[in-house]
Amino acid sequence: MEIPFVVQPRKDTGLFNSKIAIWLFLASEVMLFGGFFSAYVFLRLGADYPWPERTLPVLPGLINTFILIGSSVTVVFAWASLKLGHWGRFKIFMGITVACAAIFMVFKGIEYNVKFHHQGVRLKDYTVIEGHLGYEKENGKPVLDHHGKQIEENRILIETSGLTYNTVRFHQPWIEECLTQAQHRGSKILLSADISAVTKPGQPAETIAKTGDELSVALLERIKTAHLAARAHNGKLRTSALRQEWKDAKAENPGKRGWQISSSVNIDTAALGPQLLTEIPSVAFKVDPPSRFDFKPRDIKHGETLSRLRDDTAVEGKLLDSPMVFHYVDAIDFRHLAMQAVKKGIDPIVAIENSWLIKNDESARDAWEWNKLQTARLEKELLEKYGVDEKTGKPKREPTAKERYRIGWKDLVAKADGVNRDQQKVKIKEEFMGPDYHGREAKHTFPHLSVPRNEIRFASKFTPAWNTYYAIYFTVTALHGLHVIGGALVLSYYLFFGRKMYETNPEWLANRVEVGGLFWHFVDLVWIFAFPIFYLM
């Protein structure tokens, strides 16, 4: 039985099945992205911190906008070529459409990569510092972790004397990292005491591991196996004993409810003792000799003498100085500090000049003094151009909070070049890849900075964890990117495998391309909304 209206449209609606389906699908997509954009607007209006403004590179976003608009035109030309029976032209226009999708994703990948390598830190006084971290070196050579990756100078350093592992939750990569660091520093991680356990009911305890055995994943797995087997066995015994206790209690107290007799239901642990197996919830090791271990800040909750990893591993030892070292600071943002100062009735300028950064770093002080001069110059220009409001006696136009309190990387470039803020010149490559740190090193454009750990409130790469803005930005643009990839795959299928369909029933292929084109127009429309919201506002 042939399904009607697959190729030919209905006479009453003028639509074929797949076109109705795509319109229904697009309606659900409108609600999805509409919800995201609405949430973004409400969160931005209600934000209790300075919302990031114009922080994304405009040029690649603008190019991507024209790329998607152009691809929407070429997909229409591809469909029209099929309707006119020109297979060759269809291939050309559809090929251009798919190529545009690939270029769009390349630019998006570059943008994401720059963000994932860009470090931000909020200090306890609400100052925000942005830039790139340095890498640890020994004897002039970079230090590598057990994956062969360079270690950033953003680690919690502990003079480690002991490690106590949770036998159920231990994380294998962290064990391997500890072993690598111990080997690198000439230390060994050895078992602190013999581990003996009853592994069979009624049998004497047997030694599972001996004092001085070296830490290994295999050793912990062996202990874990014995522990889980013991826990399962003991659980069954306790459950069986508890069930029997309830039966006896109910027999002795007929007619009473469970809650009335629950206080009298107890397991005789002494009677169970000979049948129980030994559980080993944790295993202690010593580091001989004690040596410096470093841990990623997100992996450990550090203390002065005892720290704990997220897998519940206890790290014994003294907390060492663990500064976050910026090799290149490319932005300083005082907006949040100024906002908090206003709430407390303090002059923002006074609060900024009493901040830890201004007091402890000469390059930051120089940048701030330069920024004050630029702000004063801008105030004068706005006053001359727009004048004073007669009713309030205040200037009609004043510098924004961003212009007053944020020193971006382009500002640092202008300062190093000895020009005003509006005269700075940057390279085209920098618009895509971010600041050219090495190329501007000679002028000391981007200062170095070491931030003590006790001054840090929060630190993160520019990922969804950094703030709500980036959380929504990555969610929406990543979801949009998946739509671009999905649409490109469908259009690529028609391009590379549509010949047989074209020869058999060209109208059917034209219908499919039309439906794909409608989806592609929607993808373009979403980006037209996303670009100004995220990049320009």
Tell me which residue of 76, 124, 117 sits closest to 96, measured CA to CA: 76
- Residue 314: enclosing H or E segment and its boundaries? strand 314-319
Tell me which residue of 316, 351, 353 sits closest to 337, measured CA to CA: 351
The 3-state DSSP class for residue 10 equals coil
Residue 500 pLDDT:
83
Identify whether the C-beta of residue 480 lies closer than 8 Å to the C-beta of residue 68: no
Residue 424 pLDDT:
83
C-alpha pair distances (Å), 453 with each of 62, 129, 156, 500: 39, 14, 8, 65
% of the chain exceeding 90 in pLDDT? 62
Residue 343 pLDDT:
93
Answer whether residue 157 shows pLDDT above 50.
yes
pLDDT category of residue 262 using cuts at 50, 70 and 90: confident
Q: Give the strand pairing for 314-319 and 119-123.
A: unpaired
Tell me which residue of 164, 187, 186 sits closest to 175, measured CA to CA: 164
Among 23-37, 168-182, 465-479, 507-521, the range scoring the smallest mean pLDDT is: 507-521
Tell me the pTM: 0.83
Identify whether the C-beta of residue 534 lies closer than 8 Å to the C-beta of residue 491: no
Answer whether residue 225 shows pLDDT above 70.
yes
Over residues 32-42, mean pLDDT: 93
Identify whether the C-beta of residue 186 lies closer than 8 Å to the C-beta of residue 328: no
Q: Residues 533, 534, 537, CA angle at the centre, nearest 5°?
A: 60
The 3-state DSSP class for residue 150 equals strand
Q: Give the strand pairing for 137-138 and 128-133.
A: unpaired
Answer whether residue 335 shows pLDDT above 90.
yes
Is 269 exposed, middle or buried, given 0-12, 13-18 or 19+ CB atoms closer than 10 A?
A: exposed
pLDDT category of residue 1 using cuts at 50, 70 and 90: very low
More confident residue, 12 or 529: 529
Q: CATH class for domain 18-79+469-536? A: mainly alpha
In angstroms, the CA 319 to CA 109 distance is 38
Among 103-107, 201-205, 490-494, the range scoring the smallest mean pLDDT is: 201-205
% of the chain exceeding 70 in pLDDT? 96
Answer whether residue 365 shows pLDDT above 80.
yes
Q: Residues 263, 243, 260, CA angle at the centre, nearest 5°?
A: 25
Other Cβ atoms within 10 Å of 252 Cβ, number: 10
Answer whether residue 44 shows pLDDT above 50.
yes
In angstroms, the CA 23 to CA 423 distance is 49
pLDDT category of residue 227 using cuts at 50, 70 and 90: very high
Residue 267 pLDDT:
79
In angstroms, the CA 154 to CA 325 distance is 7
Q: How far apart are the first and last CA of the chain?
A: 55
In Å, the largest CA–CA distance within the chain is 97
Tell me which residue of 186, 173, 117, 185 sits closest to 146, measured CA to CA: 173
The contacts of residue 332 (CB under 8 Å, 6+ apart) are: 127, 128, 129, 130, 357, 364, 367, 368, 406, 407
How confident is the prediction for the chain on average, in pLDDT? 89
pLDDT category of residue 14 using cuts at 50, 70 and 90: low
Tell me which residue of 105, 97, 107 sits closest to 492, measured CA to CA: 97
For the chain, the domains span: 18-79+469-536, 156-321, 326-461
Phi-psi region for residue 148, left (φ > 0), alpha (ψ -120 to 50) or beta?
left
